[in-house]
A and B are shown apart, each in its own frame.
Chain A
Amino acid sequence: MPFYLEIIICVSLLTGGAFLLIGSYGLVRLPDIYMRLHSPTKASTLGITGVLVASMIFQSHLKGFLSIQELLITLFLLITAPVAANMIAKTALHFRTKPIDKTQGQELMETIRDRKSTKPPHTPR
């Protein structure tokens, strides 16, 4: 394997790994469930993509033809991650899980839970 390919693979593996680590670290670090949701939906998409790009280049080199099935995994991840996050948020709201005190717009939570319509005071419609 040529040296420059090794470098590209290493860089994408390391970036991917770093983002995945940050994503998991966020789960431990952030204070409430609504904030914790952000770290796996975002920080980890780029992490997985980095790892998959590395795999794609490595496999393409190994097999001698372009291997693009990894792109499918990224695509499926992009489709499923928001849905999972949405379901978790819904469940948390349904059980009236308390957010941390400084959360803005807490008065909205009951409205959101009941899926009612709202009219915030300063929004032009």
Chain B
Amino acid sequence: MKLFPMPFHSLLLFVVWLLLNNSISAGHIVLATFFAITIPWLVTGMRDEHPKILKPWLAIRYVLMVMKDILTANVEVALLIVGPVKKLKPGFVAIPIDVDSDLGITILASTVSLTPGTVSAEVSKDRAWLYVHSLHLENEAELIESVKQRYERPIKEIFGC
């Protein structure tokens, strides 16, 4: 039995607990240590294997890029909402995807939901297609290309799949 079966998650729990309580007093540190040891120990048995992050720097860059995109997405969608609704051209689009791990698909789908003009609706059973709904669809091929180039490629590189 290892003391820290999931070291990264233990560290995360420790930091999140201290952040939630907004304090670094001795009592909270003891409690955070307790959680960091027991919770991973309890849940390690029900864990699915996830691909490892192979390129942490690329992952950080990806997060920053997504944050920037969320900012522009917010402004864009706000403008679309305030602008003339009659001119909006909504549509469903099927995007072929190559990522095949659960984690990769989840991250890709969430990113797509948070970034300009698209909400992911469903993934096909064979994991080959991501179906999205677009608020203002002008050029389908362009949308597919941008999702693949901008988001899917880095995710594939980060997890190496």
On A, residues with C-beta under 8 Å from B are 19, 22-23, 25-26, 29-32, 34-35, 37-39, 41-43, 45-47, 67-69, 71-72, 78-79, 81-83, 85-86, 89-90, 93, 99-100, 102-106, 108-109, 111-113, 115-118, 120, 122-123, 125
CB neighbours (8 Å) of A72 from chain B are 16, 19-20
Q: Is B81 an interface residue (CB 8 A)?
A: yes
Binary flags per residue of B68-104, CB closer than 8 Å to A gives 1, else 0? 0011011101101110010011111110100000000
Q: Is B122 an interface residue (CB 8 A)?
A: yes
Q: Is B119 an interface residue (CB 8 A)?
A: yes
- A71 CA to B124 CA in the complex, in Å? 34
Q: A93 touching B77 by the CB < 8 A rule?
A: no
When C-beta atoms are compared, the residue in chain A nearest to B115 turns out to be: A42
Choose among A31, A43, A82, A104 the residue that contacts B92 (Cβ–Cβ < 8 A). A104
- A82 CA to B88 CA in the complex, in Å? 22
- A42 CA to B119 CA in the complex, in Å? 9
12 contacts between A and B (CB under 8 A): A19-B78, A38-B80, A42-B73, A46-B75, A72-B19, A85-B119, A105-B94, A108-B93, A115-B122, A116-B125, A117-B125, A118-B129
CB distance from B95 to the nearest CB of A (A): 8
CB distance from A19 to the nearest CB of B (A): 6
CB neighbours (8 Å) of B93 from chain A are 105, 108
CB neighbours (8 Å) of B120 from chain A are 82, 85-86, 89
On B, residues with C-beta under 8 Å from A are 16, 19-22, 70-71, 73-75, 77-78, 80-82, 85, 88-94, 96, 109-114, 117, 119-126, 128-129, 131, 133, 135, 137, 140-141, 144
Q: Is the interface of A mostly helix, strand, loop or mixed?
A: helix
Question: Which of A38, A39, A89 has most chain B Cβ within 10 Å?
Answer: A38
CB distance from B141 to the nearest CB of A (A): 7
CB neighbours (8 Å) of B20 from chain A are 69, 72
Q: A45-B74, A86-B121, A103-B90 are in contact. Are A117 and B110 (CB under 8 A)?
A: no
- A109 CA to B16 CA in the complex, in Å? 41
Choose among B21, B85, B121, B125 the residue that contacts A31 (Cβ–Cβ < 8 A). B85
When C-beta atoms are compared, the residue in chain B nearest to A25 turns out to be: B81
Question: Which of B20, B78, B131 has most chain A Cβ within 10 Å?
Answer: B78
CB neighbours (8 Å) of B81 from chain A are 22-23, 25-26, 29-30, 39, 43
Q: A105-B92, A112-B131 are in contact. Are A93 and B19 (CB under 8 A)?
A: no
Q: A115 touching B141 by the CB < 8 A rule?
A: no
